[in-house]
Chain A
Amino acid sequence: MRQDTIRNFSIIAHIDHGKSTLADRILELTNTVTGREMREQLLDSMELERERGITIKAQAVRVLWKGHQLNLIDTPGHVDFTYEVSRSLQACEGALLVVDAAQGIEAQTLANAYLAIENDLEIVPVVNKIDLPQANPDAAASEIAELVGEDAARVLRISAKTGEGVAAVLDALVERVPAPAGEASAPARALIFDSSYDQYRGVVAFVRVVDGRFTHGEPLRAMAQGTRFEAEELGFFSPTMRAAGQLTAGEVGYVITGLKDVSRLRVGDTLTSEKLPAAEPLPGYKDVKPMVFSGLFPTDSDDYPELRDALERLKLNDAALFYEPETSQALGFGFRCGFLGLLHMEIVRERLEREFDLDLIVTAPNVAYRVVTPTGAEVEVHNPSELPNEIERVEEPYIRASIIVPKEYVGQIMELNTERRGRFDHMEYLSEARVLLVYELPLAEIVLDYYDQLKSRTRGYASFDYDIVGFREGQLARVDVLIAGESVDALSMIVHRDQAYGRGKALVERLRAEIPRQHFDVAVQAAIGSRVIARETIKAKRKDVLAKCYGGDITRKRKLLERQKAGKKRMKQVGAVEVPQEAFLAVLDLDGNRK
């Protein structure tokens, strides 16, 4: 295929705005699949993805349209995978920006559209779902035109569901999106924009060839990581795997590497030929670091080996997942896991529970902290209980948050962000009715319930996205919890000094409600160092007897006590106090009003 007949593009869309449906229509219209083969939403291959309406792993599908090779590169749909999205976009020259005609632009779309613009992609704006009764295509078209600096008349109007206007979309891709640049005769370079793991074939890399060509069986090298392997098979998806002898400049396809661990081949790295290597890798590789951490513990401590095996297997498929063994005096043996963000954490937890049938306790998430000790040593802390007592300085990750809301909710958003130590950056009107607010906030302030608050204070209208912008010094303190005088590691939290009292008080109040009354008074205290900042007392029970126990009652009463004992065994013993496992999750929704 001649390089000038190739078009590489992605679809940028908010969840539910119709990305998968549009992809399906494109596959049908180009006869890549027949109607009979059509499985709904073909590109989302994992069960979980279909259920959540999100896409975790990108794939690329090749279709033919009027003498052109179109490569549709699928992008992950969420904030946590911004880096992966940016690599996917880097593999393209163009992007379809799809907006729901009834909903308008959402924060996530906006963030990805900006990413596309930064990557110099040709943007083809599309308003979808024009067949819906509540659709307002004109309003959506003018929002989108405003955003990309296009004439509203050039915004395509389609219904991916009925297929209306989809052919025009393909024509527009051919006309508007430039052919890939790249030097066909230069030493081979390809961008790895995604990878996945197959238990029989090992790591499969998804690549965009930029320069030169790659051929079957050739020894290859990943330039940043230095990983070496042979191209066991090359090919492309159309829509299923098709082996090919080679992949040439401008093409998109896959390389089967035979590697047994996805972490050896990272997204963003550059593949080159081992025999005739390129001098320079493609720009932009970075090692993504987990920013959100949480402890994962099996509810039944006997399941620890199963949890370890499950994490090992997930890690094969998810290079961004980090884990290390953790022992909590309260929750026993488990793992401290690092995630790109909250959704990533949620996905990992669900996959562990669903695919591996594990029952888990997930502790309150916290962020990574950088700590400088008085001796000048720098340590990264992933667990509040590890925060040293002697501290020169603590830095915490900050985000730049984009929030889109109907204008009547601006006040509520400002209030929420102020409570969360946010710093206002700017605000702009996207349309007469909708406003974009940009704030800088500590990541720690959004890991608990920020998103829920955002939704509840705006009746679900707010959409939200963020980028990590770096580490900044904060006035932070570790609040410890003492139950009957014993410090409980799993309940320690790092908070801003100004919030220490409020959050400490809320936590001990929650604990008082969660911990059952014991046979003696139990003090629950929150403390910074040796200074107690809040205290609650769980009053002792005065009476706890089985009133009657005669000949006919004995079996029932015995079973009752045996059950009671089994329940006690499930609790965690903190000194002489029996603490139910749920209590360790109290910190999760301190601002909620569940109890």
Chain B
Amino acid sequence: MSGVRHLYVHLPFCAHRCGYCDFVTAVGRRDQHAGYVEALLGELELERHLLAPRLETVFVGGGTPTYTEPRALAHLLGALPSAAEVTVEANPETVTSELATLLAEGGVTRVSLGVQSFAPHLLRTLERRAEPDDVRRAVSILRVAGFDNISLDLIYGIPGQSPAELDRDLAEALALEPEHLSCYELEAKPGTRFTFAHGAALTLQADAIEGYFERVVDSLQGAGYRWYETSNFCRPAGRDASRRDLRSRHNLAYWLGRDYLGLGMGAVSTVRGRRWRNTPRLSAYLAAASRVQPPDRELEQLDGPVRLRERLLLGLRLDEPLDVSKLDSAIDRPALERLEKLGLAERAGTSHLRLTRRGRFLGGGVTADLLS
């Protein structure tokens, strides 16, 4: 069996924790950044035997990776294995020409910017630090530094966001001509500070927001983007001068059910039917590293049926038909027939299955239906 070709690296530090965020993060702690990076590299050494000689993708996510103390960040990027696609997540207000140079010199090929919105009052609701101008400046700095693969993250369904405001956000994002866009509906998790503050407003807006997803897809497809995954869009290969496939190769690895190694606190790995999650506690993670031991991990054994179900639920998120010839036992046949009749799922050839356009808008429920 050849090694793992996809590496995720988690940099948890942020200047501030946004109200809606449910990622593993740590606020501030600039004095710990260097130590954390050392710990990461320690974990990399411990797990290096799992990796293939050549990696396809590296993804540095957060947190706010670009909030990491620059020397520590540079050290990390220099020490990570190289790969065809190296993505780093960045917040617009952290992007400076120094940072852009640091990233470029560190072998980064792709930057994913956490924009979320261009409307100042919506950014405030989300507790984002960036101003709309920061986004435009960041994109420009990155372009000047030579980055030709930029992705923008947008959030829609923000409390108080009108359909017109959504349209404006989309238009502003498109004006920056990103290679890639990720658009997520805001998830107000029960029990969070955000839901406490805005839950009532969201309930009032629920009916309107239900149409936002369609609006996003319509706008971006209208602008020529490919809706290649439930929440992800890219410029199609034919429209790009270099005829590149601009889908996120790293994320595609998840959706195609490939193995991946995750380093850092809270990071998840899936290798040969085993999945583990590192401790989400910074102190515990650092302590394990100081003993040159792997961090505490929560282990999950993925048995055959589970792997098939995951293959199905991940594969159906994509626009390309899924080969289901080996997934028969994971599929509820009568449900599939019902869904076909309802025009939500369709066969492609004898062995492939995909969701129709309407089926993709209802992808969660449709996939749940399909599971045996």
A joins B in a complex: yes
Q: Give A residues with C-beta under 8 Å from B.
A: 519-520, 541-552, 554-555, 557-558, 561-562, 564-565, 568, 576
Inside 8 A of A547's CB, which chain B residues have their CB?
Answer: 184-185, 187, 230-231
Are A541 and B365 interface neighbours, CB within 8 A?
yes
Cβ distance A465 to chain B, nearest Cβ, rounded Å: 47
Q: A519-B362, A558-B309 are in contact. List 6 more A-B contacts (CB 8 A).
A: A542-B210, A542-B214, A551-B268, A558-B313, A561-B309, A576-B338
Cβ distance B101 to chain A, nearest Cβ, rounded Å: 28
Are B262 and A543 interface neighbours, CB within 8 A?
no
Report the bound CA distance from A544 to B361 in whole Å: 6
Q: Pick the contact of B368: A551, A554, A568, A576 (CB < 8 A).
A: A568
Inside 8 A of A548's CB, which chain B residues have their CB?
Answer: 184, 187, 231
| Known pairs A545-B364, A549-B317, A554-B254; A568 contacts B369 (CB<8 A) | yes
Q: Give B residues with C-beta under 8 Å from A.
A: 8, 184-185, 187, 210-214, 230-231, 251, 254-255, 260, 262, 266-270, 275, 277, 300, 306, 309-310, 313-314, 317, 332, 338-339, 341-342, 344, 360-369, 371
Q: Pick the contact of B254: A519, A520, A546, A550 (CB < 8 A).
A: A550
Report the bound CA distance from A11 to B361 in whole Å: 69
| Known pairs A545-B364, A568-B369; A552 contacts B277 (CB<8 A) | yes
Cβ distance A543 to chain B, nearest Cβ, rounded Å: 4
Cβ distance B136 to chain A, nearest Cβ, rounded Å: 25
Q: 3 tightest CB-CB pairs across the interface, nearest first? A: A564-B368, A544-B365, A552-B268
Report the bound CA distance from A320 to B338 in whole Å: 46
Q: Pick the contact of B344: A519, A562, A564, A565 (CB < 8 A).
A: A519
Report the bound CA distance from A415 to B143 in whole Å: 79
Report the bound CA distance from A565 to B368 in whole Å: 5
Inside 8 A of B230's CB, which chain A residues have their CB?
Answer: 545-547, 549
Are A555 and B300 interface neighbours, CB within 8 A?
yes
Inside 8 A of B306's CB, which chain A residues have their CB?
Answer: 558
Inside 8 A of A550's CB, which chain B residues have their CB?
Answer: 251, 254
Cβ distance A482 to chain B, nearest Cβ, rounded Å: 19
Nearest residue, chain A, Cβ from B317: A549
Inside 8 A of B360's CB, which chain A residues have their CB?
Answer: 545
Nearest residue, chain B, Cβ from A550: B254
Are B341 and A565 interface neighbours, CB within 8 A?
no
Are A543 and B362 interface neighbours, CB within 8 A?
yes
Inside 8 A of A551's CB, which chain B residues have their CB?
Answer: 8, 254, 260, 262, 268-270
Inside 8 A of B231's CB, which chain A residues have their CB?
Answer: 545, 547-548
Are B185 and A541 interface neighbours, CB within 8 A?
no
Report the bound CA distance from A358 to B368 in whole Å: 29
Inside 8 A of B369's CB, which chain A residues have their CB?
Answer: 565, 568
Inside 8 A of B267's CB, which chain A residues have their CB?
Answer: 552
Nearest residue, chain A, Cβ from B366: A519
Are A545 and B368 interface neighbours, CB within 8 A?
no
Q: Pick the contact of A549: B8, B214, B254, B362 (CB < 8 A).
A: B254
Question: Can you list 13 A-B pairs with a CB-CB distance of less than 8 A?
Answer: A519-B366, A542-B361, A543-B362, A544-B361, A544-B363, A545-B213, A545-B231, A545-B361, A549-B314, A554-B254, A554-B268, A555-B275, A562-B309
Are A561 and B270 interface neighbours, CB within 8 A?
no
| Known pairs A545-B213, A547-B184, A565-B369; A552 contacts B364 (CB<8 A) | no
Report the bound CA distance from A561 to B364 in whole Å: 7
Report the bound CA distance from A62 to B368 in whole Å: 67
Report the bound CA distance from A477 to B97 in whole Å: 80
Nearest residue, chain A, Cβ from B371: A565
Inside 8 A of B367's CB, which chain A residues have their CB?
Answer: 561
Report the bound CA distance from A551 to B254 in whole Å: 6
Are A543 and B361 interface neighbours, CB within 8 A?
yes
Are B184 and A554 interface neighbours, CB within 8 A?
no
Inside 8 A of A520's CB, which chain B residues have their CB?
Answer: 342
Report the bound CA distance from A554 to B270 in whole Å: 10
Output the residue of B210, B300, B366 with the most chain A CB within 10 A: B210
Inside 8 A of A542's CB, which chain B residues have their CB?
Answer: 210-211, 213-214, 361
Report the bound CA distance from A550 to B341 in whole Å: 31
Inside 8 A of B338's CB, which chain A residues have their CB?
Answer: 576
Cβ distance A114 to chain B, nearest Cβ, rounded Å: 56
Cβ distance A469 to chain B, nearest Cβ, rounded Å: 51
Report the bound CA distance from A519 to B340 in whole Å: 12
Are A545 and B362 interface neighbours, CB within 8 A?
yes
Inside 8 A of A568's CB, which chain B residues have their CB?
Answer: 368-369
Nearest residue, chain A, Cβ from B248: A550
| Known pairs A542-B210, A545-B213, A549-B230; A554 contacts B314 (CB<8 A) | yes
Cβ distance A573 to chain B, nearest Cβ, rounded Å: 9
Report the bound CA distance from A558 to B344 in whole Å: 20
Inside 8 A of A565's CB, which chain B residues have their CB?
Answer: 332, 368-369, 371
Are B364 and A519 interface neighbours, CB within 8 A?
no
Report the bound CA distance from A75 to B213 in whole Å: 67
Inside 8 A of A552's CB, which chain B residues have their CB?
Answer: 262, 266-268, 277
Are B266 and A561 interface neighbours, CB within 8 A?
no
Report the bound CA distance from A547 to B187 in whole Å: 8
Nearest residue, chain B, Cβ from A576: B338
Are A519 and B342 interface neighbours, CB within 8 A?
yes
